[in-house]
């Protein structure tokens, strides 16, 4: 059930109505039932996976919470089980395929790839939530003792498939307090959903098609094509994933739950580090807490100088980030490219942009550097390594011309990117809700705005469905 499908648009209001009609005590149960139905609508047998992992993590968590002396062993057991689930379903097929290819390359006998498991949706997200739960218990947090409340934490359907990655302390506190109906939260939820639908249908799907024009035939791309294609994909990725996050947050708010943010105007980042504090924040801060800090503090890196140790930790963390994004060598390459880009950016920022120079030059220089490094790294996301390198070649030596895109299509990509930057700058300076909050017409403007966005989203979705016969999947759908 895709967030942008008519089925979800019918499913969500039905669950919302039942939720608020039911007595408070039964609401979490309804949410679990709806969430399992939501999960089963994709592939019913895999319901056992999320259910089984929930049961195991609940059991281990209960024992950990009893201050047993075996907490460390229990933590490792929980980590092993969750990572194994992720490894088997997400990476085993890829490793099998890679081993087979390597053996073929070396002229060795090797059976043909045997593993063909479908990747369970949301697996990468809910295993990270389980890992966070177990590690935080080990670090001293209180466990969730109520099995219903615990089951709701990974299963909660708005965040089930593609996050944001929740933190259990914050989420469980809301479940325990049984959210009361707040019209402000409900209204904001509806607004977030329609904004998300608009971003996906009107912008992400259309810009994505332009990027694919370049990526599907990189050998003919000129320098401008290659950069515009990379920029187009970057814009598509932002609008696609932030649309998903908006719909997830909006859906959660219809039940009174407020879940984490994922984006904070990432196109305005002026350093690579700043970018990661604005982009896919729930993953970034998860990686900071459960990969970067532990790796940085490990004795293995103790021999290195602090700055070098930080850089190694950063590269390892972003390598994990890349591999988490998908089972493929391109994701390994993306992780490494992101890691080394962060190191380069750090060196440049310290040695160049922090020197005495006009503020505007420092900010704009840092911004350009950040965007260039990002575009170079992000081409590994949708492409094979060879295609990505081919694109790199054309980005630098492709000749200053366009072979694939027309000037109108080029302007469309640049215009959407530039327009988004301008809008994000303006929103930071003049938050619209602040501007209208004291106006008497606010009660009319907000629904009018929501209807306009919803109408435009439906129009673009229908126009797109006329081409493809089905709603476009979100990029992070099968993660």
Partner 1 sequence: MATAQAEVRRAPATASNGHAPRVRLHSEILPPDLGPATPAALRTSRRALAIMAVGIVIVQLISAPIGHRLDAIAHTGTDVYSLWEKYVTHPVPDILILGASPARTDVDEGILSGDLTALIGRPVRAETMGFPGENPLFLDALMYRIMKRTPHPKLIALTTIGPDLSENCFLCNVAVNPGLWDISDLTDPGFVQLALHVSPNPSWLAIGWALPVFAYYSSLIALQCVAYDAGRSVSTKVIGRIPRQLQNPTPCETLAAYKWGTQSTMTPGDFTGSLDTYRIGMLKYDVSPRIYSSVADMIARARAGGSKVVFLRPPLHPALLASFPGQVQTSKQSVDAIAGQLNLNVIDFSDAMPYDPNLWVDALHLDRQGAGVFAPQLAGALATALGS
Binding positions for partner 1, rule: CB under 8 A:
6-7, 9-10, 64-67, 136, 139-143, 164, 167, 169-170, 182-188, 190, 249, 258-262, 273, 276-277, 281-282, 284-285, 287-289, 292-293, 310, 314, 317-318, 342, 437, 442-444, 446-447, 450-451, 458-459, 462-463, 465-466
Residue closer to partner 1 by CB (options 21, 48) is 21
* Nearest in space to 126 (alpha carbons), one of 158, 95, 148: 158
Residue 152 and residue 58 in contact, taking contact as beta carbons nearer than 8 Å: no
What is the rounded distance in angstroms from the CA atom of residue 83 to the CA atom of residue 81?
6
Residue closer to partner 1 by CB (options 206, 383) is 206
* Nearest in space to 338 (alpha carbons), one of 408, 302, 287: 287
Residue closer to partner 1 by CB (options 99, 454) is 454
Residue closer to partner 1 by CB (options 25, 467) is 467
Residue closer to partner 1 by CB (options 143, 158) is 143
CA angle 457, 459, 460 (to 5 degrees): 65
What is the rounded distance in angstroms from the CA atom of residue 198 to the CA atom of residue 182?
25
CB of 118 to partner 1, least distance (A): 21
Residue closer to partner 1 by CB (options 142, 401) is 142
Buried residues in 369-382 as b, exposed as e (16+ CB within 10 A): bbbebbbbbbbbbb
Residue 4 and residue 471 in contact, taking contact as beta carbons nearer than 8 Å: yes
Which DSSP letter does residue 25 get? G
CA atoms lying within 13 Å on the CB side of residue 96: 14
C-alpha torsion 118→122→123→126, nearest 10? -170
Residue 92 and residue 115 in contact, taking contact as beta carbons nearer than 8 Å: yes
* Nearest in space to 130 (alpha carbons), one of 156, 157, 165, 89: 165
CB atoms within 10 A of CB 85: 20
What is the rounded distance in angstroms from the CA atom of residue 338 to the CA atom of residue 366?
16
* Nearest in space to 148 (alpha carbons), one of 66, 258, 27: 27
CB neighbour class for 125 (10 Å; exposed up to 12, middle 13-18, buried from 19)? buried
Largest CA distance in the chain: 77
Residue 345 and residue 370 in contact, taking contact as beta carbons nearer than 8 Å: yes
Residue closer to partner 1 by CB (options 111, 306) is 306
CB of 447 to partner 1, least distance (A): 4
Which residues touch 52 (CB under 8 Å, ≥6 apart)?
none
CB of 181 to partner 1, least distance (A): 11
Residue closer to partner 1 by CB (options 304, 444) is 444
CB of 180 to partner 1, least distance (A): 10
Residues labelled catalytic? 325
Residue 474 and residue 117 in contact, taking contact as beta carbons nearer than 8 Å: no
CB atoms within 10 A of CB 400: 7
Residue 383 and residue 215 in contact, taking contact as beta carbons nearer than 8 Å: yes
């Amino acid at each position: 059930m895709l967030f942008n499908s008519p089925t979800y648009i019918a499913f969500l209001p039905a669950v919302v109505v039942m939720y608020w009609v039911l007595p408070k005590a039964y609401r979490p149960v309804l949410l679990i039932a709806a969430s399992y139905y939501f999960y089963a609508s994709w592939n019913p047998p895999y319901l056992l996976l999320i259910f089984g992992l929930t049961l195991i993590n609940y059991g281990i968590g209960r024992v950990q919470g009893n201050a047993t002396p075996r907490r460390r062993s229990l933590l490792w057991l929980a980590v092993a089980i969750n990572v194994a689930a992720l490894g088997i379903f997400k990476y085993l097929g890829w490793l099998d395929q890679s081993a087979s290819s390597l053996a073929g390359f070396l002229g060795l006998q090797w059976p043909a790839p045997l593993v063909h498991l479908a990747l369970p949706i949301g697996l990468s997200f809910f295993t990270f939530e389980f890992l966070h739960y177990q590690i935080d218990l080990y670090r001293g947090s209180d466990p969730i003792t109520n099995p219903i409340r615990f089951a709701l934490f990974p299963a909660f359907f708005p965040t089930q498939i593609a996050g944001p990655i929740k933190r259990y302390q914050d989420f469980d506190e809301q479940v325990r307090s049984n959210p009361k109906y707040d019209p402000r939260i409900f209204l904001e939820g509806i607004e977030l959903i329609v904004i998300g639908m608009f971003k996906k249908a009107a912008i992400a799907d259309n810009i994505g098609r332009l990027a694919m024009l370049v990526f599907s035939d990189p050998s003919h791309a000129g320098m401008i094509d290659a950069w515009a294609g990379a920029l187009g994909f970057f814009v598509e990725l932002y609008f696609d994933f932030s649309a998903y996050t908006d719909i997830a947050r909006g859906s959660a708010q219809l039940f009174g739950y407020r879940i984490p943010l994922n984006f904070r105007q990432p196109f305005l980042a002026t350093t690579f580090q700043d970018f990661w504090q604005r982009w896919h924040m729930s993953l970034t801060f998860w990686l900071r807490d459960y990969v970067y800090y532990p790796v940085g503090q490990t004795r293995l890196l103790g021999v290195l100088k602090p700055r070098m140790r930080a850089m190694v930790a950063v590269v390892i963390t972003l390598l994990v980030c890349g591999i988490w994004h998908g089972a493929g060598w391109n994701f390994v390459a993306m992780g490494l490219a992101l890691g080394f880009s962060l190191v380069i950016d750090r060196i440049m920022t310290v040695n160049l942009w922090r020197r005495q120079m006009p503020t505007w030059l420092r900010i704009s220089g840092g911004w350009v550097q950040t965007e260039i490094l990002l575009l170079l790294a992000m081409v590994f996301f949708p492409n094979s390594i060879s295609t990505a390198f081919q694109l790199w070649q054309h980005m630098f030596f492709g000749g200053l011309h366009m072979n694939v895109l027309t000037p109108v299509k080029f302007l469309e990509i640049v215009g959407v990117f530039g327009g988004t930057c301008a809008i994000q700058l303006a929103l930071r300076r003049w938050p619209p809700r602040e501007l209208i909050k004291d106006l008497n017409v606010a009660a009319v403007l907000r629904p009018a705005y929501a209807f306009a966005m919803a109408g435009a989203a439906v129009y673009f979705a229908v126009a797109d469905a006329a081409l493809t016969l089905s709603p476009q999947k979100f990029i992070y759908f099968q993660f």
